[in-house]
Structure formats: structure tokens, C-alpha cells
A and B are shown apart, each in its own frame.
Chain A
């Protein structure tokens, strides 16, 4: 694996304490986020992608959540064992996050300006005047018209797209090394989504921030990510560069997912290829491959033994006993 990773995750697990035991929601996942790249983490609901992102920033409420890892290395430090005070110094400064719902993610009682000032004052030690000056620059940079007026306004006065721009301004205020974007465009209309993805791309070029883009939408990954990791039932089943992975998916789940998206094409398919069945509920995973029950290519080995994520070809990994297009 590449050595220039800014964030290195090894065997990260997230579980929940439930009466009579614990329920594993994220099951020993490993990945690298490289300098300046966008890594897409894609999965359906319940795949554990959001829990992964919250665990990385240590934002999960514990208890009930418990997380463990061999190590989560960020800029040479293990985030897992870092004291909370040092972790807080990193959050919003070197390691930022934006969320799915820009409406509820902003404090409704605080002006936009004050909410962007906060990380500047906290991490860069700016006084309030300097912070406000920088806030206005940031507002202009993320494409908000009339920054002075916007700084005085409150979240409810802005549209969804504008609120997400504010969230981006907050997250990138201190020029972080890593931005975790959890479904940043899911709540937005397509035309606004295109604007936000474009903005993230521009800012990444400018600041060199590595982005972990979490989404359920493969089309967003295709458009915005360099590499992708596909999650299924709390595990990563496949990783690789976007172009190769989309052209020739190795895991049957990735293949099924890609084929089941309705596309705008002149000749339409009579029937969409579907993946039968449903995702197994957390805590009810079979001993073998979690996808085996829905997989058209499942062999006895798939049901008995769990495949691990192993490198194949150039820069690709797959967790499957019978990879496709192999």
C-alpha cells in the first residue's frame, strides 16, 4: 500500500452494547486516505459508512457505541489513543467534517458569522476582528453572495445549498489535512449538488485537503472521487481507483449495485438487474461472506468461510473467493 497516506485505518470496528452482548456494526475495516485525494466510501443504509466516519473523529457517543482498531494513524499520531484534549485540538483544525443535513447541523440561534468565527478563534488564536475578516473571505470563497449580510444572517434565512456552503466554510476554515464529508449533497437538489461537488473539487485543488467522501450514490462517487471503497454489512468488500472499479468491478456486490442503477440511455432495459433479498441485519451476519445469500455466484466455500480483503492487480483489493472480471 502507498506510503503517502495522511490517514491510515487498520481493523477499525464499531459495535454497540446491547442487552446480552454487543452488536458489530463496522467489522474490522482497513483503508488509507492519501494526500490530496478523494476517497469515496460507498454503501447502502446499514453498511456502517457513517459510523466509520463518526468513529474516526471520535464523535460517537460511548457508551453505547464502542470502537476499537489496531491503529488509526493521522499525521503520525494514533487517534485512538490520543487524549480527548488533543483530539479536540485536531477536530476542525487538521481533521474536519461536514454532515448530511445542513439545516440541523448549524446552530439555529447563532449567526452564520459567529459559527464560522468559532474554529478560527479556537484553533488559529485569531482575535474576533481578525476572525471576522477571515470569515468574510471564507464566505466569499465558498460562493455566498454579499458576505457581510450573510454573516449577520441566521441558518433559517438561507437555502439548503447555501447552508451546506456555510458548513464547508466552517470545515475548511483552518485548512485541514483531511475533510470527512458524510453525504454532503444527499439533501440537496441535483443542480445544487453539482455546484457543491464542484466547490469541493476547487477547494481541494487549492488547499490540498484529502477528502473522505461518504455516500450511498455511486454516481456522486464516479463524479467526485479518485478512489473508492465499497462497504457491505459493515465490511469493505472492494477498493480501487474509480475508473477501473466502475469499468470492471471485482466483487459481485459492486457489480450488482452498478447494474441496478437506472441510467439515462436511449435504449432502455426492459428490466433493471436487481440484487435479490435484503442486507442482513447487524448482529445476524453469517460465518462466511455477508453477501453470499444474495450472490448469484456463491459457492459452498463462500457460505462457510469469510473472505478477507486482499490485493489483486494494480492498486485494487477485493474480499471475494470468486471475483468477477478477475
Chain B
């Protein structure tokens, strides 16, 4: 098992290098390049820009720039923001807890409800419940997240006034957990809705497939009762593709979080990213792309290890 994890970690390294090269290249190919932000400032002359270029090392060959940047990434020096001059890594880490709180809550909720709906739909295939769940998921998947977000704000914050329309806490209530939860409800609801729909569909088809396998027939022929067959035999087998899905869905979860945070003014990385994009904050953008990539790669690594724990055939 340890050998498997070690091999799997080694495999992630080239992937990470690949992602960093692509990210780096994209930023350099972007219109205007890294110094576009300065050209809009009338007080900065062309000579100033040239000086900045040299100071930032942008006059050097691209591969040298990449190596310098990559070394910095590796040693924790992710550069400084253009505005404010704060270390990028700090800025990101500052925003991380808010994002993880949102994403973690949404994902947990979506997995619990989505899986239950899916399993029930598979067990009672073509029942009224199954039909409703199927159409519900279709509706959730057909509308964009921002529309749901705006509708939720309109209904629950503006019309009913039950919940706050945005932000993470009221002024002066930073330590009030109840206040935090009240602020969390709407963004989590909106973010988890689409994930839930996806998960219910996948869980349903994963269980349907597993339930028609020969070993499920063997389990029944052994005299096992329905709960034992479902939890001991079907569940671990159906869980496998779902864990793989978790790894694959992480980037989608990130982009969902980005939209949700923007709508609800949630002070997380999503908002940071949108702000950085608007202000052409290259160091922050690069930092965040790398952070996301790292997160997705680690997420997939964890998913693979979980699958290996469940399935002895993968461990070899």
C-alpha cells in the first residue's frame, strides 16, 4: 500500500510540472503581457516600463524566467501583488479558509443527499420518486449557477428576509458561529445544488450497474437480506466510480465556488481570483492557478488512494 502511494505521488510530479508550464505560458501569451497593467497608467513612462521589465526579470529568455518563477513557487516565494505589494502566498492562504468552508460544506451536503437520492432511485427504479429525482436533477443541471444564486437572494433574502444576502458575517459578529452559519446557508445551497444533481445521477447509474452484477445474484443466492446485500456488497463496488468522480469533479467545484463567491460576496479565493483578473494582477493569478492545480492533483491522488484501499486489484 505504501509502495502504491509512493508510486502515485511520483506520478503526480510530471503532471504538476506540465500544469505549471501551461499556466506560465498562458499568462505570457495573454494580450498585453504581464506589464499591461502599467501601460494604462498615464504617469508611467515607457522608460519606467522598461526599468520595471528589467527589475522583474522580464527581459531575460523565457525559459530562465520560467525556472526562476518555478523555483520561487517551490520555495514558497510566490511573488508580490502589484497593488499593495503583499506576498501572494499570504493573500491566498488568507482567503483559503473561507473557500474551503464553503466548498467543504457544499460538497458534503451534495454527496450525502445526492448519493441517497441516487441509491433510492436505483433501488426503486422507475418509481414516482425516481422520476421526480430524475427530472429534478435535469432542472438543476439546465440552469446556470448564477441564476439560482440570484433567485435564492431574491426569494430568501429580499422577499422573505430570512437570510442575509451576502458576505460572511455582519459587522462586529466575527466570532458568532450562528451568524456565520446564517451567512453560509444560501451560498452552500446554491453551490451544492448542481453537484447534488450530478452526484444523484452518477450514484443512480453506479448502483444500477452494480446491482445487475453476477456477485449480487450470488449474494442473494446465499440468503443475504436486502440491507446486507446493499451495504456490504453493492455499496463498496458502487463507491469506486463515485470516488473517481470526486477527483474529476474538483475543478468544476472550484469554478462553481468562484461564481458563487462572486454572487454572494463571499470573501474567498473565488472573489480574489475575479478581482485579480479585473486588475490584471499577474502574480496573484499565477499563484492561484498553481494553487488550484495543486489542490486538484492532490485531490485526485487522495481519490486514487481511497480506491486502492477499497479495491485490492488496484493495489498491485
Also in contact, A110 and B214, with CB within 8 A (given A59-B220, A154-B312): no
Among the 9-residue stretches A87-95, A204-212, A227-235, A284-292, the one with 4 or more Cβ atoms under 8 Å from chain B is A87-95
Bound-complex Cα distance A57 to B312 (A)? 31
Query: What A residues does B218 contact at CB under 8 A?
Result: 99, 105-107, 167, 170
On whether the beta carbons of A109 and B217 are closer than 8 Å, the reply is no
Q: How far, in Å, is A223 (CB) from chain B's closest CB?
A: 25
Is B155 on the interface with A (CB-CB < 8 A)? no
On whether the beta carbons of B223 and A92 are closer than 8 Å, the reply is yes
On whether the beta carbons of B237 and A88 are closer than 8 Å, the reply is no
Find residues 91-124 in chain A having any chain B CB closer than 8 Å to their own CB: 91-93, 96-97, 99, 101, 104-110, 118-119, 122-123
Is B233 on the interface with A (CB-CB < 8 A)? yes
Q: Select from chain B the residue with minimum beta-carbon distance to A118.
A: B222
Bound-complex Cα distance A154 to B312 (A)? 7
Bound-complex Cα distance A89 to B224 (A)? 8
Q: Select from chain A the residue with minimum beta-carbon distance to B212.
A: A61
Q: Which of A101, A109, A119 touches B310 (beta carbons < 8 Å)?
A: A109
Contact mask for chain B residues 221-261; partner A; CB cutoff 8 A; 1 contact, 0 none: 11111001000110011001000000000000000000000
Is A156 on the interface with B (CB-CB < 8 A)? yes
Query: What B residues does A96 contact at CB under 8 A?
Result: 221
Contact mask for chain B residues 207-221; partner A; CB cutoff 8 A; 1 contact, 0 none: 000000111011111
On whether the beta carbons of B223 and A122 are closer than 8 Å, the reply is yes
On whether the beta carbons of A108 and B215 are closer than 8 Å, the reply is yes
Query: What A residues does B217 contact at CB under 8 A?
Result: 59, 99, 105
On whether the beta carbons of A57 and B222 are closer than 8 Å, the reply is no
Q: Select from chain A the residue with minimum beta-carbon distance to B225.
A: A88
Q: Select from chain A the residue with minimum beta-carbon distance to B216.
A: A107
On whether the beta carbons of B222 and A108 are closer than 8 Å, the reply is no
Also in contact, A122 and B222, with CB within 8 A (given A99-B214, A156-B313): yes
Query: What A residues does B222 contact at CB under 8 A?
Result: 91-92, 118-119, 122, 170
Query: What A residues does B312 contact at CB under 8 A?
Result: 108-109, 154, 156-157
Also in contact, A101 and B214, with CB within 8 A (given A108-B237, A109-B237, A109-B311): yes
On whether the beta carbons of A91 and B215 are closer than 8 Å, the reply is no
Query: What A residues does B236 contact at CB under 8 A?
Result: 109-110
Bound-complex Cα distance A85 to B224 (A)? 10
Q: Select from chain A the residue with minimum beta-carbon distance to B315.
A: A154
With an 8 Å Cβ cutoff, the count of chain A residues facing the other chain is 30
On whether the beta carbons of B224 and A104 are closer than 8 Å, the reply is no
Also in contact, A119 and B223, with CB within 8 A (given A107-B237, A108-B311, A154-B313): yes
On whether the beta carbons of A91 and B223 are closer than 8 Å, the reply is yes
Query: What A residues does B313 contact at CB under 8 A?
Result: 108, 154, 156
On whether the beta carbons of B223 and A107 are closer than 8 Å, the reply is no
Residue from B213, B215, B220, B233 whose CB has the most chain A CB atoms within 10 Å: B215
Q: Select from chain B the residue with minimum beta-carbon distance to A94.
A: B223
Bound-complex Cα distance A107 to B219 (A)? 9
Query: What B residues does A90 contact at CB under 8 A?
Result: 223
Bound-complex Cα distance A106 to B222 (A)? 11
Q: How far, in Å, is B44 (CB) from chain A's closest CB?
A: 63
Query: What A residues does B221 contact at CB under 8 A?
Result: 57, 59, 91-92, 96-97, 171
Residue from A57, A97, A109, A156 whose CB has the most chain B CB atoms within 10 Å: A109
Residue from A104, A118, A154, A156 whose CB has the most chain B CB atoms within 10 Å: A118
Q: How far, in Å, is A298 (CB) from chain B's closest CB?
A: 39
Q: How far, in Å, is B237 (CB) from chain A's closest CB?
A: 6
Bound-complex Cα distance A90 to B222 (A)? 9
Bound-complex Cα distance A110 to B226 (A)? 17
On whether the beta carbons of B214 and A88 are closer than 8 Å, the reply is no
Residue from B215, B217, B220, B222 whose CB has the most chain A CB atoms within 10 Å: B222
Bound-complex Cα distance A101 to B232 (A)? 21
Query: What B residues does A119 contact at CB under 8 A?
Result: 222-223
Query: What B residues does A104 contact at CB under 8 A?
Result: 213-215
Bound-complex Cα distance A92 to B236 (A)? 22
On whether the beta carbons of A88 and B311 are closer than 8 Å, the reply is no
Contact mask for chain B residues 68-106; partner A; CB cutoff 8 A; 1 contact, 0 none: 000000000000000000000000000000000000000
Bound-complex Cα distance A92 to B229 (A)? 14
Bound-complex Cα distance A283 to B130 (A)? 32
On whether the beta carbons of B215 and A88 are closer than 8 Å, the reply is no
Bound-complex Cα distance A254 to B233 (A)? 42
Find residues 189-219 in chain B having any chain A CB closer than 8 Å to their own CB: 213-215, 217-219
On whether the beta carbons of B223 and A89 are closer than 8 Å, the reply is yes
On whether the beta carbons of A118 and B311 are closer than 8 Å, the reply is no
The 8 closest A-B pairs by CB, nearest first: A92-B223, A92-B222, A91-B223, A104-B214, A107-B215, A154-B312, A97-B221, A105-B214
Q: Would you give 28 A-B contacts (Cβ < 8 Å), ordered by A?
A: A57-B221, A88-B225, A90-B223, A91-B220, A91-B221, A91-B223, A92-B223, A96-B221, A97-B221, A99-B217, A101-B214, A104-B213, A104-B214, A105-B215, A105-B218, A107-B219, A107-B237, A108-B237, A108-B311, A109-B237, A118-B224, A118-B228, A118-B232, A119-B222, A122-B222, A122-B228, A154-B312, A170-B218
Residues of B at the A interface (CB closer than 8 Å) are 213-215, 217-225, 228, 232-233, 236-237, 240, 310-313
